[in-house]
Structure 1
Amino acid sequence: MNYNENRQMWMTRVASFRESGMSQSQWCKANEVSLTALRYWLRKLKSSSYSEEETETFEFASLNVPGTCSAKSITLEVGAVKILLYSDFDETLLLKTIKTLQQT
């Protein structure tokens, strides 16, 4: 098995582990995988995903915001950034925003 095939296999395994909700040791026992190997690939794939993301280009987009917003809101602070959330916020967008902020 060449490196790319091995990497692809481990990307699939890591995704399976993350979706399982199991601890690392539980998942390794259930899937007959070495705990050391899983931890190695978790680190390797995490660090390589950062370097791949750094090469992407980002652009700002225009958003049409409705004139009225719901009155109920909370302020979320992530590092030095404050985000004002209304009751009808987009959860997926918030999670992506927080992930991006944590990487910077």
Structure 2
Amino acid sequence: MNANEQRRQDWQARIAAYRASGLTMKAWCNANECSVEQLKYWLYKIKRGSSQTTPDPKTSHVQFVPLAAVDPPGSVFSAPFLILHIGEIRVELHSGFDPKLLREVIYVLTSSC
């Protein structure tokens, strides 16, 4: 993998983290040491590139993994939600989440494997 491919892959993961965070661009960029302009640039670049290279669901590799439902001890939640752990990545889904966004996040997280 060359440096450009690595940079693109890194930014795909950063964009997935930004989208999953629920933070504003400015807040996320401040917390992740990048500029809003960089984030906007990569959002555009990856969106433009993904429209040209959208994976075909018929030929894409699909891998199912076992899930275990666990309630943290002593927790009481007011709204239904799900937390996915993919390696060291944590994705938290609340009622009414966007399934398309989840697909994009999972694609980015698993494309680097």
The one-character-per-residue Cα deviations of 1:55-92 (angstroms, maximum 9, x if unpaired) are: 7486xxxxxxxxxxxxxxxxxxxxxxxxxxxxxxxx99
3-state secondary structure, aligned to 1:37? helix
Q: Which residue of the partner structure matches residue 35 of structure 1? A: 36
Q: Percent identity?
A: 36
Measured in 1, the distance between the counterparts of 2:51 and 2:10 equals: 19
Runs of 4+ in 1 over 2 A off after TM superposition: 55-58
TM-score (norm 1): 0.51
Flag the structure with higher helix content.
Answer: 1
User: What root-mean-square deviation, in Å, do the aligned CA atoms of Structure 1 and Structure 2 show?
Assistant: 2.7
- Inter-CA distance 31–57: structure 2 relative to 1 (3 Å threshold): closer
- Structure 1 residues without counterparts, runs of 5 or longer: 59-90, 97-104
Matched to 1:5, the amino acid is Q
Q: Which residue of the partner structure matches residue 4 of structure 1? A: 5
Residues paired across the two proteins, number = 62
- Inter-CA distance 48–30: structure 2 relative to 1 (3 Å threshold): same
Measured in 2, the distance between the counterparts of 1:56 and 1:13 equals: 23
Measured in 1, the distance between the counterparts of 2:43 and 2:57 equals: 25
Q: Aligned runs of 1:12-91 on 2, under 5 Å? A: 12-53=13-54, 56=56
TM-score (norm 2): 0.47
1:51, distance to aligned residue in structure 2 (A): 0.6
Q: Which protein is bigger by CA-based radius of gyration?
A: 1
1:34, distance to aligned residue in structure 2 (A): 1.1
Matched to 1:13, the amino acid is R
3-state secondary structure, aligned to 2:48? helix
